[in-house]
Copies of this chain bind each other. A is one copy, B any other.
Amino acid sequence: MSPHRSRRRIPDATVARLPIYLQLLNEQLENEVANISSDELANLAAVNAAKVRKDLSYMGSYGTRGVGYDVEYLVYQIRRELGLDHEWRIVIVGAGNLGQALSGYGGFPDRGYTIEGVFDIDESKLDHVVGGVRVRHLDDLAQVVAQKDVSIGVIATPAGAAQDAANRLIKSGVTSILNFAPVVVSAPLGITVRRVDLSVELQILSYHEQRRLTAASQLRAVPAESSSHASA
């Protein structure tokens, strides 16, 4: 479609950071900051400046030597690279606490995501309105996905229902899935699945806590480090 998209393949690690740069750059725009150096952006993102420059260089050379990067242009480029110049239509399966929190999440409309439906099988939840969207029966999923050309599905069901939700999403034509249920869902090749699991995150934290304690009790063997971990 458009002429010269994605000139190079961007490394996964970089793709995971672009949304963070984007968010920080948007904040700069709000503060009417027109220009930013790799050093400044690196400080905001809590990463190394060389990493910022290398990350940005994968999209092309948009900086000015001796000066820095034009914030607005950078925002435009990152958005384009991440596909945020499209509008993405998403559905949420599961209208429990989490599904409701997600559909009420303010960030979506700004960033080009529209929620086309929230689905559940629990009769008692049907027809409730959460985040401005009426909860529909899961059996209507395929129809909505096809009609609205939905490409991203969010799974916010209990663990036991997640694989079924995934199967239905995939059969309906969704090609990317964001899974919040604490299970590994399997999907055929060609479907992108990302998993976000609260208790996995907590367990990683408790590993670090535990190390801290052990280290402290062992006459400070290793000085505690690691001040920040990206989520990707």
Distance between A215 CB and nearest chain B CB, rounded to angstroms: 9
Whether a CB of chain B sits under 8 angstroms from the CB of A207 is: yes
* Contact between chains at A19 and B203 (CB < 8 Å): yes
**Looking at A90, A204, A217, A229, which has the most chain B CB atoms within 10 Å of its CB?**
A204
With both beta carbons as reference points, the residue of chain B lying nearest to A16 in the complex is identified as B204
Known A-B contacts: A16-B204, A90-B202. Give 9 more (CB < 8 A): A15-B207, A18-B203, A84-B206, A98-B101, A108-B199, A195-B228, A204-B232, A229-B232, A231-B232
Whether a CB of chain B sits under 8 angstroms from the CB of A148 is: no
Complex Cα spacing A110 to B168, Å: 29
Chain A 1-58 interface residues, beta-carbon cutoff 8 Å to B? 1, 5-6, 9-10, 12, 15-16, 18-20, 22-24, 44-46
Whether a CB of chain B sits under 8 angstroms from the CB of A182 is: yes
Q: Please, which residues of chain B bring their CB within 8 A of the CB of A225?
A: 189-190
Whether a CB of chain B sits under 8 angstroms from the CB of A191 is: yes
* Contact between chains at B184 and A24 (CB < 8 Å): yes
Whether a CB of chain B sits under 8 angstroms from the CB of A178 is: yes
Distance between A19 CB and nearest chain B CB, rounded to angstroms: 4
If A6-B214, A101-B100 touch, whether A82 touches B192 (CB-CB below 8 Å) is no
Distance between A83 CB and nearest chain B CB, rounded to angstroms: 3
With both beta carbons as reference points, the residue of chain B lying nearest to A106 in the complex is identified as B158
Q: Please, which residues of chain B bring their CB within 8 A of the CB of A20?
A: 184, 197, 200
Q: Please, which residues of chain B bring their CB within 8 A of the CB of A86?
A: 206, 210
